[in-house]
Structure 1
Amino acid sequence: MDTLVRIMDEKLAGPMNKLANQRHLRAVRDGIVATLPLIIVGSFFLILGNPPLPKDWGVYKFLVENAPKIVLPFRMTMAIMTLYATFGIGYSLAESYDLDGLSGGILATAAFLLTFTPVNVPAVAALVKDGVLTAEAAANLTLPVAGFVLPIANLGGGGMFVGIVTAIIAIEIFRFTDRSGFKISMPPQVPASVSRSFEVLVPTAIVVTLIGGITYWLGFDWHGFIATLVKPLLSATDSLPSVIIQVLLVTVFWSFGIHGVSIVGSVARPIWLQLLDANQAALDAGKALPHISPEPFFQWFIWIGGSGATIGLAIAMAFFAKSAYAKSLGKTAFVPAVFNINEPVIFGAPIVLNPILMIPFILTPVVLAIIAWFATSLGFVARVYTVAPWTLPGPIGAYIATGGDIGAVILNIVLIIVSFLIYFPFFKIYDNKLYIEEQEN
């Protein structure tokens, strides 16, 4: 075991930390994470439009009747999250190159929007076609004859990969023009804000001409092309083997002191968001939710108490410890664990490089993932479609993420019990070891 720990530390820790801090992956992570407040708040409006209440309640009837207006904040936040994420990616990547972050965010957003072709359609006809109004009602409305529209689906999770690619292209062009001096420089007397605007003129011209030319003159379908490439990946990611692999990667990295969620999440989060977006679109259209494992599935059915599903270990330490150290740490770590904060346990027990506790730390989430995946795929538990704040206690978060499914609450409680049962024998071995050491000293 000592040899394995040494090899992992020497051969893996360095490269993995470098990967986690690679500027493009870090920018993608920062840009997407910055949209989480909008995603969380916007998702609540989707729940209000599809309330988990008895259908004979007056409040249910009111919410359903007014659902088209209620879900509008969702459409302007979560439903177009890639638009916000692209700005964040551009901002973060530009700052990593010591470029102006605000200019980088705007440039990245423009590059993303240039992958869309606005369509000029009759506004009334579009409403009638979508079934929003009858022909008679539409005829009595005063609406413009035509208007330009964008496909909102690709402004959301469906366009995430296009947003990432175009944001990186835009900022790399920005960096090239800055480093090569191929830019318009103003005298020192010019205000900084004006000077920055002129400095970005050249990269803006290049980005608009390049991305716009590819989209409008070459007729390249960015979104269709990327969707074709990503579709097999999305299907694979939603499978049980893929879920288990992701869980193993996170926990194995954490076991050696490497922030597993940062590494795996940098790559997987765009995919998780596309799965979540597809579920929300299906719910909004009144269809069955297609995907099992968007990110909330991991949060509320696997990472209960934090990475490694350490809620079971926290309970064992808080209420069943014999050694003074474990008992004291348990009292300290139990409340944070209830709210999914487990750094006190990971580094305090510790779990990192601890051969006794590493085993259940890796094993428990795999068992929980298998149970939750089958419970969801067989229809015992509703599929997740919204993002609840990650600091909520597990049963509450599961209830919200599934739109008010009691089965999700029951499953979450069952999984907490399973976590405790798996951790307990390993905890007793470790606790007895600590107790003997305390007695000897």
Structure 2
Amino acid sequence: MNKFFKFIEKVLMPPMTKLAEQRHLRAVRDGIVSTMPLIIIGSFFLIFAFPPIPFLAELVEPHLGTILFPFRLTMGLMALYASYGIGHSLAKSYKLDGVSGGLLSLATFLLTVTPQMVDEVGFVLPMDKLGGGGLFVAIIMAFVAVEILRFLQERNIMFKMPEEVPDSVARSFEALIPAGVIIPFVWIIVHVLGFDIHTFIMEIFRPLVTAGNTLPGVLVPIILITLLWASGIHGVSVVGAVARPIWLTLLDENVEAVAAGAEVLPNIAPEPFFQWFIWIGGSGATVALVMWMLFSKSSYLKKLGKASIIPGICNINEPVIFGAPIMLNPILAIPFILGPIITGILTYFAMYFNLVARPSILAPWTLPAPIGAYLATGGDFRAVILVLVNFAIMAAIYYPFFKAYEKKLVAEEQGEAGEQI
């Protein structure tokens, strides 16, 4: 196992560390994360619109349009908000004006959407291109807008205002020429030449979205995240930067299916699949390990368990990952990696055969797992049972490794006590 960790440290860690710090992926991560409050609150309106209690469902049915309106303007415009956040973050990474980068990205993305004309002057924009279905286009357009902004500013192709002009006014004029390049460029491609950027980009990324909803698409991020954490790298940050657009696209399709009244949702593995059923207590489902620590014969593990149990219930597990430690610890790393693979397979097939409802709600990640799973599946009590089953499996997998590690620490603690005497 030590040889394996050395292999991971030499072969896997350097490229993954570079990947985590790559400015474009970091901008995608930060831009999408900035939309999470809107997505979480907006998705809760789905629960209000489609409550799991039949009596309440009948009661709210006449008011569905009104109830779903906040959802349509939050999660339904996910790509719109993300385009600004990604552009802002990427521009800041180049030490450019973040507001200019965000606004240019937003305008560029909106120009890719073909309007539906109502009359000679009025038009509507299709909502399906502004939510999760347009997320990949929003990412690409943010990259294009900010890179053009950077290219022009590095070559001083911009309006320079006198020093007496306030900074906010000067920055807005500095973005004038980039806007004059970007907006006509996208307008000609989409609206004059009639090139459908959305269809083109989605055809490119569709295999990734489809693969993300398969069993291998579930297991690959589980393995990568746990391997990276066990090697000392924040696995969710690295893998999430690449996978989160796929997860959100899958979630958006499930949300639209719920809003359309579908009984069985199309996708198994949006992000709540991992959050509530695999990462029970955080990556590696470590709250099961913390439970054993509470009864440990090792004074160190017992103290660590007491300090980690409340954060663990709220899915914060850095104290146990770095405190036990699990990181670079061959004894505890094995169940940390192996356990989520087993629960991931079980959960996938439970949802594949519709034994448990598929996720459609992005609940706050600090909720205890049974509550989060219940909300994420629209109020399916079977989701709570599955979480408890997965917790029991993780507890059983951790137990022999925990006892072996406990025995080692107890021997060390007794040896230190003997030396002091």
- TM (norm. structure 1) is 0.92
How many residues are paired up? Answer: 415
Superposed displacement of residue 247, structure 1: 0.4
Aligned partner of 2:62 among 53, 61, 65: 65
Aligned partner of 2:140 among 145, 153, 165: 165
- The yes-or-no answer on 1:114 pairing with 2:111 is yes
Superposed displacement of residue 105, structure 1: 0.5
Superposed displacement of residue 295, structure 1: 0.2
Tell me: CA distance 1:146–1:188, structure 2 relative to 1, closer, same or farther (3 Å): closer
SS at match of 2:378: coil
| Match runs of 1:352-367 below 5 Å | 352-367=327-342
- Tell me the distance in 2 between the aligned counterparts of 1:420 and 1:366: 14
Which amino acid is 2:144 matched to? Answer: I
| Match runs of 1:310-325 below 5 Å | 310-319=286-295, 321-325=296-300
Gaps of 5+ in 2: 417-421
Superposed displacement of residue 216, structure 1: 1.2
- Other-structure match for 2:419: none
Which amino acid is 1:30 matched to? Answer: D
- Tell me the distance in 2 between the aligned counterparts of 1:14 and 1:192: 40
- Tell me the distance in 2 between the aligned counterparts of 1:372 and 1:335: 25
- Other-structure match for 2:47: 47
Gaps of 5+ in 1: 123-144
- Tell me the distance in 2 between the aligned counterparts of 1:345 and 1:438: 19
Aligned partner of 1:284 among 259, 284, 289: 259
- Tell me the distance in 1 between the aligned counterparts of 2:83 and 2:388: 38
- Other-structure match for 1:129: none
- Other-structure match for 1:301: 277
Q: Deviations over 1:19-63 (max 9, x none)?
A: 10110000000000000000000000111111111x2x3x43332
Superposed displacement of residue 229, structure 1: 1.4
- Other-structure match for 1:15: 15
- Tell me the distance in 1 between the aligned counterparts of 2:107 and 2:260: 30
- Other-structure match for 1:87: 84
- The yes-or-no answer on 1:418 pairing with 2:393 is yes
- TM (norm. structure 2) is 0.97
- The yes-or-no answer on 1:376 pairing with 2:373 is no
- The yes-or-no answer on 1:103 pairing with 2:100 is yes
- The yes-or-no answer on 1:267 pairing with 2:242 is yes
Superposed displacement of residue 8, structure 1: 2.4
Which amino acid is 1:358 matched to? Answer: A
- Tell me the distance in 1 between the aligned counterparts of 2:41 and 2:341: 30
- Tell me the distance in 2 between the aligned counterparts of 1:39 and 1:175: 30
SS at match of 2:117: strand
Q: Deviations over 1:62-98 (max 9, x none)?
A: 3222111001000000011000000000000000111
Q: Deviations over 1:102-133 (max 9, x none)?
A: 111100000000101211136xxxxxxxxxxx
RMSD: 1.2
- Tell me the distance in 2 between the aligned counterparts of 1:2 and 1:416: 28
- Tell me the distance in 1 between the aligned counterparts of 2:376 and 2:2: 41
Identity %: 55
- Tell me the distance in 1 between the aligned counterparts of 2:200 and 2:335: 42
CA contact (8 A) 2:49 2:57 kept: no
Superposed displacement of residue 14, structure 1: 2.6
Superposed displacement of residue 233, structure 1: 1.6
Aligned partner of 2:207 among 205, 210, 232: 232
- Tell me the distance in 2 between the aligned counterparts of 1:81 and 1:11: 36
- The yes-or-no answer on 1:24 pairing with 2:21 is no
SS at match of 1:415: helix
- Tell me the distance in 2 between the aligned counterparts of 1:235 and 1:46: 24
- Tell me the distance in 2 between the aligned counterparts of 1:12 and 1:231: 27
Superposed displacement of residue 10, structure 1: 3.1
- Other-structure match for 1:406: 381
